[in-house]
């Protein structure tokens, strides 16, 4: 059975986000609309934070999961640092909270010289270096700018994690990190560079991982490496465990997030105890586990149609708004915003207006007959929803609102055709 995320509840048959009816938001801001629950974001952040209270740690929220400025600012206010994967994401953190810049870790296999210079100048916490070439370039940039950089080698622990192949990252055949066997030599080399300090070890084994044991195995391997690095004379101050904790998109098994967070923390903390006197500061880079259940897409039904045996509900949201079903075969629960109907649920594909057969939001969803104009809610869309949205089919990207109790703030206005056209020229 599907358990709705806590920020979204029916009250008198009407779906609300916290204290605000979704129908009211749809009328005021239009559809498709991203709606976020501020209480859920706070709650999930603090559950994770508490789960790790036994060790010194910083939660560096992964900006790419959802990079809305207001959400970043909300998290910065709770004490979060940030995990960024581009110079653009650093700009977002800077706009959201200047103070948070010193709690930024920079990950990614393809950092450009420009991005390295930008981050060197702004004095971030840690560079997660993913290759020998990047180490050389960072050293060169740091030397020219005379800026110090703390680095952690991102190692590839070669741990399989049960998840979609596109979001599994911790195997030898993946492009991420350096092999653990090469780490010692690279750190030795880095330590010889004037402006670089080897300060940690980092890893990230993938995303949407629901069994916590791979996290434990990966940290075991990182701990072995840290012991070697310490014996080589490096002062290892940080261990970055990455992100990747999964959420439940369509079952009750993870409704108890506090329980999940406890197990996750246990898996990561236990291997750390072997480090005894060496007490590195633990960095965590959760994205999805904080923000996915806090967001939903509200969409309006345009048509309902029957093609042979197949029933289709055509909605005004599409794969450009929420690409997860098309890209990963992800399943998102969908329910009507208003429960006034008493008709039996029938199976339907909920699809968008885009000219692609891959443009579906749900396949074989159980939904009562829908009438044009009716509103539907697509759950657990807070992570990798808006941040992956595009203008495909020249569709305007959706608006986003943040609900906090009875209060609603528009945190991104709906795009206009003018926004889209302004970077283009009609030559010839
Ligand atoms: C994407 C990413 C994360 C966040 O992953 P989630 O599954 O959203 O928690 C963390 N660290 C790195 C390096 C990433 O690429």
Our mutation pick for probing the ligand 1 site, out of 75, 83, 210, counting the most ligand atoms within 8 A of Cβ, is 83
In the chain the domains, ranked by start, together with CATH numbers, are 8-37+293-421 (2.40.37.10), 107-286 (3.20.20.10)
Report the nearest atom of ligand 1 relative to the CA of 245. Answer: 9
Report the nearest atom of ligand 1 relative to the CA of 287. Answer: 8
Report the nearest atom of ligand 1 relative to the CA of 207. Answer: 7
Q: How far is the CA of 166 from the centre of ligand 1 (A)?
A: 13
Q: How far is the CA of 10 from the centre of ligand 1 (A)?
A: 32
The pLDDT assigned to 254 comes to: 60
The pLDDT assigned to 153 comes to: 96
SS3 219: helix
The pLDDT assigned to 1 comes to: 66
Q: How far is the CA of 337 from the centre of ligand 1 (A)?
A: 31
Give pLDDT tens digits for 64-97.
999 999 999 999 999 999 999 999 999 999 999 9
The pLDDT assigned to 174 comes to: 81
355 is catalytic: yes
Give pLDDT tens digits for 342-361.
778 889 999 999 999 899 99
Neighbours of 372 (CB within 10 A): 10
Q: How far is the CA of 136 from the centre of ligand 1 (A)?
A: 25
pTM of the model: 0.96
What DSSP letter does each residue of 350-369 carry, written as one string?
A: EE-SSSSTT-EEEEEEEE--
Give pLDDT tens digits for 368-416.
888 999 999 999 999 999 999 999 999 999 999 999 999 999 999 999 9
Q: pLDDT higher for 1 or 243?
A: 243
Q: How far is the CA of 206 from the centre of ligand 1 (A)?
A: 7
Catalytic residue among 141, 187, 355, 377: 355
Our mutation pick for probing the ligand 1 site, out of 60, 154, 243, 283, counting the most ligand atoms within 8 A of Cβ, is 243
The pLDDT assigned to 5 comes to: 87
Top mean-pLDDT range of 2-16, 249-263, 296-310? 296-310
Give pLDDT tens digits for 27-59.
999 999 999 999 999 999 999 999 999 999 999
Range list of H helices, 55-212:
69-77, 87-96, 113-122, 132-145, 180-191
Give pLDDT tens digits for 216-249.
999 999 999 999 999 999 999 999 999 999 998 8
Which residues' Cβ are closer than 6 Å to ligand 1? Answer: 62, 64-65, 83, 85, 107, 204, 207, 242-245, 285-289, 383
Report the nearest atom of ligand 1 relative to the CA of 64. Answer: 1
């Amino acid at each position: 059975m599907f358990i709705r995320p806590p920020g979204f509840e029916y009250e008198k048959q009407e779906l609300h986000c916290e204290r605000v009816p979704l129908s009211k938001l749809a009328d005021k801001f239009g559809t498709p609309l991203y709606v976020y629950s501020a209480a859920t974001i706070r709650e999930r952040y603090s559950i994770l934070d508490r789960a790790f209270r036994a060790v010194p740690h910083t939660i560096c929220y992964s900006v790419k999961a959802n990079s809305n400025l207001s959400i970043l600012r909300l998290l910065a206010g709770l004490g979060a640092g940030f995990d960024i994967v581009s110079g653009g994401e650093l700009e977002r953190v800077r706009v959201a909270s200047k103070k948070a810049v010193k709690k930024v870790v920079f990950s990614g296999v393809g950092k450009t010289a420009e991005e390295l210079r930008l981050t060197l100048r702004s004095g971030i916490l840690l560079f997660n270096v993913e290759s020998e070439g990047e180490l050389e370039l960072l050293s060169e940039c740091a030397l020219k700018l005379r800026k110090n950089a703390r680095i952690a080698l991102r190692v590839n622990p070669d741990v399989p994690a049960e998840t979609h192949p596109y979001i599994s990252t911790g195997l030898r055949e993946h492009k991420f990190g350096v092999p653990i066997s090469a780490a010692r030599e690279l750190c030795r080399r880095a330590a010889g560079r004037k402006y670089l300090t080897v300060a940690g070890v980092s890893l990230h084994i993938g995303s949407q991982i629901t069994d916590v044991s791979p996290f434990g195995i990966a940290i075991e391997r990182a701990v072995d490496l840290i012991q070697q690095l310490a014996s080589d004379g490096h002062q290892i101050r940080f261990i970055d465990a990455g992100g990747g904790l999964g959420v439940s998109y369509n079952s009750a098994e993870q409704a108890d997030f506090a329980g999940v967070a406890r197990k996750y923390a246990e898996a990561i903390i236990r291997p750390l105890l072997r480090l005894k006197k060496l007490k590195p500061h633990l960095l965590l880079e959760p994205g999805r586990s904080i923000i996915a259940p806090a967001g939903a897409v509200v969409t309006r039904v345009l048509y309902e149609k029957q093609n042979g045996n197949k029933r289709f509900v055509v909605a005004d949201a599409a794969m450009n708004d929420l690409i997860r079903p098309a890209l990963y075969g992800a399943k998102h629960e969908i329910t009507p915003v208003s429960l006034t109907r008493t008709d039996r649920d029938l199976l339907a594909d909920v699809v968008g207006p885009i000219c692609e057969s891959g443009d579906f939001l749900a396949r074989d969803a159980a939904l009562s007959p829908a009438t044009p104009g009716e509103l539907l809610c697509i759950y657990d869309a807070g992570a990798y929803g808006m941040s992956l949205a595009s203008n495909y089919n020249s569709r305007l990207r959706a608006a986003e609102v943040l609900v906090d109790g009875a209060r609603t703030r528009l945190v991104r206005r709906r795009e206009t055709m003018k926004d889209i056209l302004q970077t283009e020229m009609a030559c010839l």
